Structure 1
Amino acid sequence: MKLVVFGANTPTGRLVTAMAMAAGHTVTAITLRPADFPFCDLRVQVAAADVMDADAVDWVLRGHDAVISVIGAPPSMKSVDVCSQAAYNIVKAMASHGVRQLVCVGSTDLDAADLSPVALLLQRLVRPLTLACSRAVQRDVRHMENVVRASGLDWTLIRPGRLVDRARMTGYQVTACPVRRPVTSRADLAHALVHVLVHGGHVGETVCVASE
Structure 2
Amino acid sequence: MKVTLLGANGPTGRLLLTKLLSDGHDVTAMVRRCPDFPTHAPRLRVLHGDATTPADVSAALSGAEAVVSVLGTSFSRRPIHLYSSSAQAICLAMTAAGTGRLVTTSSAALSAWTDPNWTWAERVVGRPILGYLGRTLYADMARMEAIVGASGLDWTIMRPLGLATMDSPTSYRIAEDHIAGRQTARRDLAAAIADQLTRTDYHHKTVAVATVDKHQSLARTLWREGIKPNLPTAARR
Give the TM-score, by structure 1 length.
Answer: 0.91
Give 1:104-119 correspondences, 5 Å limit.
104-111=104-111, 113-115=112-114
Unaligned runs of 5+ in 2: 213-237
Contact 1:162 1:181 in 2 (8 A): no
Aligned to 1:145: 145
Give 1:176-187 correspondences, 5 Å limit.
176-187=176-187
Aligned to 2:125: 122
Aligned to 1:92: 92
Letter in 1 for 2:124: L
Alpha-carbon spacing, 1:14–1:39, altered in 2? closer, same or farther (3 Å) = farther
Shift of 1:167: 2.9
Alpha-carbon spacing, 1:37–1:116, altered in 2? closer, same or farther (3 Å) = closer
Letter in 1 for 2:211: S
Residues in 2 aligned to 1:100 and 1:53: alpha-carbon distance in whole angstroms = 19
How many residues matched? Answer: 208
Shift of 1:165: 1.9
Alpha-carbon spacing, 1:10–1:23, altered in 2? closer, same or farther (3 Å) = same
Alpha-carbon spacing, 1:69–1:121, altered in 2? closer, same or farther (3 Å) = same
Unaligned runs of 5+ in 1: none
Aligned to 1:19: 19
Contact 1:58 1:93 in 2 (8 A): yes
Letter in 2 for 1:114: W
Give the TM-score, by structure 2 length.
Answer: 0.81
Letter in 1 for 2:126: Q
Shift of 1:150: 0.6
Residues in 1 aligned to 2:71 and 2:133: alpha-carbon distance in whole angstroms = 18
- CA RMSD of superposed structures (Å): 1.9
Shift of 1:199: 2.7
| 3-state SS of 2:9 partner | coil
- Greater displacement, 90-99 / 165-174: 165-174
| 3-state SS of 1:210 partner | strand
Give 1:1-212 correspondences, 5 Å limit.
1-38=1-38, 40-111=40-111, 113-115=112-114, 120-123=123-126, 127=129, 131-212=131-212
Shift of 1:84: 0.6
Alpha-carbon spacing, 1:2–1:169, altered in 2? closer, same or farther (3 Å) = farther
Residues in 2 aligned to 1:71 and 1:42: alpha-carbon distance in whole angstroms = 23
- Greater displacement, 164-173 / 145-154: 164-173
Please list the CA deviations of residues 132-157 of structure 1 after superposition, one character each: whole Å capped at 9, or x if unmatched.
33100000001001111111111101
- Greater displacement, 164-173 / 7-16: 164-173
Identity %: 35
Letter in 1 for 2:163: L
| 3-state SS of 1:63 partner | coil
| 3-state SS of 2:57 partner | helix
Letter in 1 for 2:182: P
Structure 1 segments, 4+ long, off by >6 Å, are: none
Residues in 1 aligned to 2:49 and 2:127: alpha-carbon distance in whole angstroms = 38
